[in-house]
Structure 1
Amino acid sequence: MLTVGGLVFLLLCVFGSYIVSGGSLGPLVEALPFEMWTIGGAAVGTCVMANSINDLKHLGGAMVKMLKGAAFRKGDYVDLLSLLFHLTKLASNKGVVAIEAHVEQPAESEIFQKFPKVLKNHHALTMICDYLRMFTMNADDPNQIEDLIMRELKKTLAEELHPSHMMQTMADALPALGIVAAVLGVVKTMSHIDQPPAVLGAMIGGALVGTFLGVLLAYGIAGPFSNRMRGVVEEEAKYLEVIRAVLVSHLHGNAPPVSVETGRKMVPSQHMPTFLELEEATDAIKV
């Protein structure tokens, strides 16, 4: 909602100051549909040419994510850390073989069932199960596992950031596309050079709307949208970083409370539970 509020405030400031200073909306309203057709259509066309169908679908999902904000709050991190605590505790007490049944069929696991939000998160669930399954296959070198997880997280982050790059590329192109629309308007004006000055003035004003729209869409909308998308993705990436920290700490031989505390330190500050909050949450859940 903050993104929508900022956009409304921006438009009110831009057009409000124009109206209060004596500007008329008539020329803008008259030229806007055609200039938007030119600039917006060209921007969409270049985006379609430069990306795959999967990328375009991903962009739609990123727009929704941008408006909603990061999906994870304190309760989500508490659930994740509690789940990892119980899994690492089971592995420490009874050996890694004891967690094999849980990671092979997580939907049927009594541990995973205690944390339905984690169970519904495809990326997190896959990451937890895949690496715990590797532990059961004697892949227990912490440095090797950490390197593997880091490379996977880097790949995942790059894929999730692609819509932000798409939007930024569009923002970079919009001022030039605005000039294209303006030049076309000037060409149209020159073909009516025999008209009275009032008519020519209106046509030149309409042409300049193209430049105005290109700059406004680039720096007032597409650019901030791109930055917001990137911020949301980077914040959500911390969720998977928590998993990495706990699993690697566990492989280094640390006790479950220490491993979970290592993961807690990776939680974004505004969502980080306190040590006591996390301890109470893990003690309250019996598995």
Structure 2
Amino acid sequence: MSKKDILTPIGITFGFIVIMLAILSSGGTEGAVSFIDVSSILIVIGGLIASMLIAFKMEQLKLIFKLFKATSLQNSKQLPELIALFSRLAERARREGILALENDLDGIDDPFIRKGLLLVVDGVEPEVINDILEAEIMAMEERHAKSRSLFEKAAEYAPSWGMIGTLIGLVLMLNQLSDPSTLGPSMAVALLTTLYGTVLANLVFTPMANKLEGKTEEEAFYKQIIIEGIIGVQSGQNPRILEEKLNAFLSNEDQEKQKEIQTSNIIGESINEA
């Protein structure tokens, strides 16, 4: 089960707090009020929504709330536990045969691992298994890229609508130069729309798109290790050799954790034998 990633809401909140503190430290409360302009908000938010409705299908736009949620979830998959799983599967396959792996399928929640093991049990060639699973990774990356483009396009459109608001404000200001009282509001629209669009792009949409891209890379890396493990189990590799091969994917910190898991397993086996 995925854990909450509090860094995303903390980062966004901290960014807005820093901006507000900078405004308050320079202009006080009255200065902060001058940074709120309904016309500028309508231009940026309304224009952004209009552009998104034109650029994407309704099915894609419905995903945006899931994407917001995804940026606040942390991947709970652990590589040391995955490697330990394949070590056990390899040992059982060598001891009892490939068909014995079918009994372990019910205890495996990951559908990607289950699919790979089912192909192994069905006697599919290693090259074919690799091609099937690699194709699934590519399809996953393509789906994620299409979903992530919602934030990437929003990051492009927001500053553009800010610039449109700036042009509107300048036109209004130039048309009313004879009335000095209108210069301030017109200039506010001209500058604040650019500010709103830039803040949305650089504090919300672009960081979220980058986080989703990082999550996709992590998942693809995780699945690549699964493919290596499945092929190793099918080929009848020695569990220790397979484990050492998969450990090459781990960082130093994860390797230490893997050693702890191995020690725990050895102690558990000793207790069971006793």
TM-score range, shorter chain: 0.7 to 0.9
Counterpart code for 1:176 = S
Q: Deviations over 1:56-110 (max 9, x none)?
A: 34432232221233333xxx3343333333323222212122223443xx2xxxx
| 1:27 counterpart = 2:37 | no
| 1:128 counterpart = 2:130 | no
Aligned partner of 1:246 in structure 2 is 229
- Matched positions, count: 262
User: Quick one: which of 153, 156, 160 aligns to 2:137?
Assistant: 153
Alpha-carbon shift at residue 191 of structure 1 (Å): 5.8
Aligned partner of 1:229 in structure 2 is 212
Contact preservation (8 Å) 1:243, 1:263 = no
- Secondary structure of residue in 2 paired with 1:16: helix
Alpha-carbon shift at residue 53 of structure 1 (Å): 4.1
| 1:205 counterpart = 2:188 | yes
Contact preservation (8 Å) 1:43, 1:174 = yes
Aligned partner of 2:238 in structure 1 is 255
| 1:174 counterpart = 2:158 | yes
Q: Rate the CA distance shift 1:182–1:34 in 2: closer, same or farther, 3 A.
A: same
Alpha-carbon shift at residue 171 of structure 1 (Å): 0.7
Aligned partner of 1:79 in structure 2 is 81
What percentage of aligned pairs have identical amino acids? 19
Contact preservation (8 Å) 2:90, 2:236 = no
CA distance in 1, matches of 2:219, 2:253: 13
Q: Rate the CA distance shift 1:247–1:49 in 2: closer, same or farther, 3 A.
A: same
After TM superposition, list the pairs within 5 Å mapping 1:1-12 onto structure 2.
1-12=6-17
Aligned partner of 2:123 in structure 1 is 138
- Secondary structure of residue in 1 paired with 2:215: helix
- Secondary structure of residue in 2 paired with 1:19: helix
Which 4+ residue blocks in structure 1 deviate beyond 6 angstroms?
Answer: none
Alpha-carbon shift at residue 207 of structure 1 (Å): 2.8
Q: Deviations over 1:135-189 (max 9, x none)?
A: 2222133x44323322221221232243333212211222111112223334444
Q: Rate the CA distance shift 1:240–1:57 in 2: closer, same or farther, 3 A.
A: farther
CA distance in 1, matches of 2:191, 2:248: 53
Contact preservation (8 Å) 1:28, 1:206 = no
CA distance in 1, matches of 2:254, 2:7: 18
Q: Rate the CA distance shift 1:174–1:264 in 2: closer, same or farther, 3 A.
A: same
Aligned partner of 1:16 in structure 2 is 21
Contact preservation (8 Å) 1:140, 1:251 = no
Contact preservation (8 Å) 1:85, 1:282 = no
Counterpart code for 1:217 = L
Q: Rate the CA distance shift 1:187–1:220 in 2: closer, same or farther, 3 A.
A: same
CA distance in 1, matches of 2:56, 2:193: 25
Contact preservation (8 Å) 2:81, 2:258 = no
Extract unaligned runs of 5+ from structure 2. Answer: 1-5
Q: Rate the CA distance shift 1:57–1:257 in 2: closer, same or farther, 3 A.
A: farther
Q: Deviations over 1:120-148 (max 9, x none)?
A: xxxxx22222222212222133x443233
- Secondary structure of residue in 2 paired with 1:71: coil
Contact preservation (8 Å) 2:39, 2:189 = no
CA distance in 2, matches of 1:278, 1:57: 42
CA distance in 1, matches of 2:256, 2:242: 15
